[in-house]
Structure 1
Amino acid sequence: MSRHQSPLPRLALLAAGLFGASLLDASPAFADLRMCNTSGSRVGVAIGYRDAQGWTTEGWWNIGPRACETLLRGTLAARFYYVHAVDYDRGGEWTGKSVMCTRNKEFTIRGIEDCLARGYDRAGFFEVDTGEQKSWTIQLTDTTGSAPARP
């Protein structure tokens, strides 16, 4: 899971459709955090979350065009997750106002403070509110607009 290039100025911004797990489905329930890439490009995804030990950021998952990937398996440990994604093919990124630590190669980083002093990069992440569901799917889509307003 490595990022192939530095992102260009933001060409693609977030227009995410968020879908919770169906409670009425008769099939066995799977509790995971999933990401679906509905764009026509390959994307690299990093996530951030707070658990009992504090803040963690992880990356990179490489997701092909019109494909889905499980990012975290099991019942979700947090209500809010944070996402930063990079469009490998056309440049640009999905970003937000929450600043967390990343690296150019595969990583798991504890803590979101002093990223640069600790030898990491800083990146903006957008917030996803799972509504305390046990599983959640985040959908990345192409857009020419800006990120939706925050509640």
Structure 2
Amino acid sequence: MLRNTALAAGALVMLGFAAAPAHADLKLCNNTESRVGVALGYKDKEGWATEGWWTIAPQKCMPLLKGDLIARYYYVFAVDYDKGGSWGGKSIMCTRDKVFTIRGIEDCEGRGYTKTGFFEVDTGEEKDWTVSLSGEKTTQGK
């Protein structure tokens, strides 16, 4: 009887693990030898937002957004803190030097922010995505 109870309890525990939802995030992996600072732009139900700065150590990954992704496109700007230079693009959004969350992408300078070019990340509407920074170029993938 005790053995059957233990087996039943074990089966319930296993079912609990099987029913747990999959963990999905937008992650950034720093595949360089430098520390990088990262800013993220996205559109949510309230409109456009930019956030920064996450500091990511060399050869490490970090989630920028936790949970299932709700948009197809996200925007990233990153700065190499140790060697200089940055990863950016043509999508203009607002940033500032200190930690920030900024609502809206219009009139950055008029609102006291810096106009910054972000590169676009197309997640293909996947719920989980990883962006990888390397020394020369930006790569991305599922």
TM-score where L is the length of structure 2: 0.81
Highest relative contact order (Cα 8 Å, sep 6+), 1 or 2?
Answer: 1
Moved beyond 6 Å, runs of 4+: none
- Distance in 2 between residues matched to 1:66 and 1:31, nearest whole Å: 21
- TM-superposed CA distance for 1:89, in Å, is 0.3
SS in 1 for 2:109: coil
Aligned to 2:45: 52
Which protein has the bigger helix share?
2
For this pair of structures, how many residues does the alignment match? 121
- TM-superposed CA distance for 1:29, in Å, is 2.0
TM-score where L is the length of structure 1: 0.76
Cα deviation 1:34-87 (Å, max 9, x = unaligned): 000000000000010011111000000000000000100111121000000000
Are 1:112 and 2:105 matched, yes or no?
yes
In the alignment, is the contact (CA less than 8 A) between 2:78 and 2:87 conserved in 1?
yes
- Distance in 1 between residues matched to 2:81 and 2:127, nearest whole Å: 31
SS in 2 for 1:112: coil
**Aligned residue among 96, 110, 121 for 2:89:** 96
Q: Percent identity?
A: 64
- Distance in 1 between residues matched to 2:30 and 2:59, nearest whole Å: 5
**Aligned residue among 85, 95, 98 for 2:78:** 85
